[in-house]
Each structure stands twice: as structure tokens, then as C-alpha cells.
Chains A and B, each alone.
Chain A
Amino acid sequence: MPEKRVSLDQIATIDDDNVVSRDLEGEAVILNLKSGTYFGLNEVGTRIWALIPEHRSLRKVFEALKKEYEVSPEALENDLLELVDQLQAKGLVSLAQPDGRNKA
């Protein structure tokens, strides 16, 4: 099984200089100004997108989601990490270790 690139131990940061977003009635639209690419998030993804700048720590984001959604913690963690992995791949968030080291 391939090693997960994202873990709850990491800190996520949205690049505010190059990313703009709006919540349109619970669904986020996001624009990467560098690449000119647009993204859309469903309701859960939009909630995660809002929690990232609020908490930055993915573990704290996870804990907040656990209080809001009635799904198994395993499924929630998996969905969260999968989305964050996609957001990083698209250049929308950057990840770092708690000690400040960037994720390679």
C-alpha cells in the first residue's frame, strides 16, 4: 500500500495571495490565480475548506468535523486527508510539519 502523503499531524495553509474562494450557499468555488484553474467543492468539502484557515492543524480540523458529522472517525479521516491531498496537488494548500518543515 502506498504511503499516505498527508497525515493529521500536519499543518495546512491556504495561499491567500494566489487563491480566491467564495462560499455560494454551502458550495465553495475556488480559483487558483497562478494556474487559472477553477475548483468546486461540495458541502462537506466546503466545510473543510472553511475549517483549514480557522485551525490550520489537520488534527483540529478532524476533531471539529467529528463533532459536526455522524460518520465513522475512520471514514471521516480518510475523506479529510484525501481532500487535503487533492487540494495540495492542485496548489491550493501547502502542508508543513508542526515544527515548520514543509512537506516534500
Chain B
Amino acid sequence: MQAVEVEPEQLGTFYRYSVYGISLRSQFSLALPAPGNASLQDIELREGSRALFEEAARGATLKPSPTAWYRHAHLPGGSTYLRWEGVAEFLVSPDGLHLTCGWLGENSHESFQVYLLGQALSFALVKSGFEPLHSTCVVINGSAVAFLGSSGFGKSSLAACFLGAGYPLLTDDLLLLQGTRKGYCGYPGPPRIKLFPRVARRFLGANLSGVPMNSGTQKLVLPLLENQTHRTTAPLKAIYVLNSPRKVSRQQRISITPLSPREAFLALLRNTFNRLLVDPERLHRQFEAMTRLVAKVPVATISYPRVLDSLPEVREAILSDM
């Protein structure tokens, strides 16, 4: 696995990792690379006891997330409690710099990392001032190309098709962008992709080494090889917003339609990674960030039939469009 720094401390051992440009100081061993010289932010991950979470969430009313996959509560003082039943629970500090984690079931460590490094970390990122997008991103000739869409729209499947053709993955599911003098750059996410077995076999080969995301799905968490991932930042060249699979028939042709800045702005808002932190300060920051982004990066919708064998044609359409 990757080499990481280990710093023994009175309270336990901490590992250091890098993901999304963030330096993580973690009590858990994670499948992530070591940090580089610079990071956008330092976030600490600690293990919490069941008693700690019970005390923190005492009296709080847990509300389901928009997708109902987890429940959450905003606690007095500004912390946020998150709970995936039978999987894990998390406590995010008000400033987003500390994330306390706990296991709730027998799910795999890989499964735990999916929820930790996705939704849970997104709360920490937003609280500490970032605006992650719900996006899977590949790198084409050194430039990042982002696919946006709700869960189930096929972002990862489309990315897998690119992977199968030799284009590396920048990130799956969560994309962190930062402005540069010339535009924006995307930061690498965890070196893994989440795919259903059929899609993984079709584009990544028959030798799968993934584990199920949780006990309720066949979707696999698949570690990627070094040559399958892009481990540094990449300048963002384009954003493609995937149309809903329900709005496309199997016979429909592939179409790419550029969006006006206003349409693009609304599309980015719909595809924010975190929709539960809606205080005015966050909304204002998000508004400014998304209006700046659409002014500099082209955004288009892409509509295509969700037929596995058609994905190579979709890939070629995107490559031609670029």
C-alpha cells in the first residue's frame, strides 16, 4: 500500500493522508496516498465511542437526508450528527476541522471509507468553506472533464468507460475545485470507483477485487491501480451534466447541448454535493462560487440512452466535443 507518515501520540497513533487536496490526520488506516507539501486544509479524523455519540445526539431529532439513505441532525453549538443505520455514525465539528467517526455494524472497512470520504467529509468541507460538487471526473490529455448528475444517473459507469480506454480517473462522486489564474483545477479523490459488477466487468475486466458498498447493494467499491488514477491536480476543461435516464429512450441519439451561464448555474446548484447545510452564509458563498465557475468553464448537458454497449459511443462524442 502507500507509504504514510505515522506520528505516535499520547492518545494513539495518527496517520496522515491526502484526498481532494485536503490533508487528513487520521486515527484510522485509510486507502489513501500520503500528503504532499501543500494542502488546502487540515482535517482531523478521530474515533468516537458509542457513548460519545449518544451524548452528543441526545434530544436531537434525526431527519432523513433528501435521498433517505442516512439521517442527520444539526446540534446546538453548530456540530452536525450523521448516521447510516448499520454502517457508521459521524460528528462534524462546527468549523469542519474535526470529524469523529464510529462503526455501527459489520460492514467492511472499504464500505466505511465510502461514507467517511463522501457525505461525512462533505459536511466538514462545506463547514470549512469549500463547495464540493457531486461529480465524477476523468482526465483527458491532462485536463479534467467532470460529469455531473444525481445518484444513479451513470456518472461512474461513464467514467468506467473512459477508464477502460486508458483515461485515468481524477475522482469518483465528489469533486473539489479551486480557482486558479487561468481557470479552475480539480483535486484527486480516493483511488477507487464504485460500480455494479456488470459495468466493472465490461470496462475494467473480469478480475474484480471490489467489496460491496453495504449489505443492501451489489454495487462494489473497486480499488484502482496507479495507472488508472490521476494523482495530481488537473485543470478543469469542461463540465457535462448527465440528463436523467428516465428522460431518454433506448432509441434516442446521443446529444450534447451547451448551457447558457444561467442554465449552467442552476445545474451546478442542483449538483452540489451537500444540500443540507443551508445557512445564509453558506448559500451566499455557494452562490458566488458557482457564478464565478460558470463564467470560466463551459457547461453542457449530455443526453444518451443508458445502454452499456452505447457508452463507448458516448465517450467518443465527448472526446469529439472537446
Which chain A residues numbered 15 to 56 have a C-beta less than 8 Å away from chain B? 18, 20, 22, 24-25, 27-29, 31, 33-34, 36, 38, 40
Report if A33-B283 is in contact (Cβ < 8 Å); known contacts: A22-B291, A38-B266, A40-B266: yes
State whether the Cβ of B169 lies closer than 8 Å to any Cβ in chain A.
Answer: no
Which residues does chain A contribute within 8 Å of B269, judged by CB atoms?
38
| B287 x A31 contact (CB < 8 A) | yes
State whether the Cβ of B60 lies closer than 8 Å to any Cβ in chain A.
Answer: no
When C-beta atoms are compared, the residue in chain B nearest to A37 turns out to be B283
| A31 x B284 contact (CB < 8 A) | yes
Q: Is the interface of B mostly helix, strand, loop or mixed?
A: helix
Which residues does chain B contribute within 8 Å of A20, judged by CB atoms?
284, 287-288
What is the CB-to-nearest-CB distance from B155 to chain A, in angstroms, rounded to a whole number? 23
- The complex places the Cα of A20 from the Cα of B282 at a distance, in Å, of 13
Which residues does chain A contribute within 8 Å of B294, judged by CB atoms?
24
Report if A24-B283 is in contact (Cβ < 8 Å); known contacts: A29-B291, A38-B266, A40-B266: no
| B261 x A24 contact (CB < 8 A) | yes
- The complex places the Cα of A40 from the Cα of B294 at a distance, in Å, of 15
State whether the Cβ of B152 lies closer than 8 Å to any Cβ in chain A.
Answer: no
When C-beta atoms are compared, the residue in chain A nearest to B265 turns out to be A29
When C-beta atoms are compared, the residue in chain A nearest to B294 turns out to be A24
26 contacts between A and B (CB under 8 A): A18-B280, A22-B291, A24-B260, A24-B261, A24-B262, A24-B265, A24-B294, A25-B260, A25-B261, A27-B260, A27-B261, A28-B262, A29-B262, A29-B265, A29-B266, A29-B287, A29-B291, A31-B284, A33-B283, A33-B284, A34-B280, A36-B280, A36-B283, A38-B266, A40-B262, A40-B266
B-to-A contact residues, CB < 8 Å: 260-262, 265-266, 269, 278, 280, 283-284, 287-288, 291, 294-295
Q: A24-B291, A31-B283 are in contact. List 15 more A-B contacts (CB 8 A).
A: A18-B280, A20-B287, A22-B291, A24-B260, A24-B262, A25-B260, A27-B260, A27-B261, A28-B262, A29-B265, A31-B284, A36-B280, A36-B283, A38-B266, A40-B266
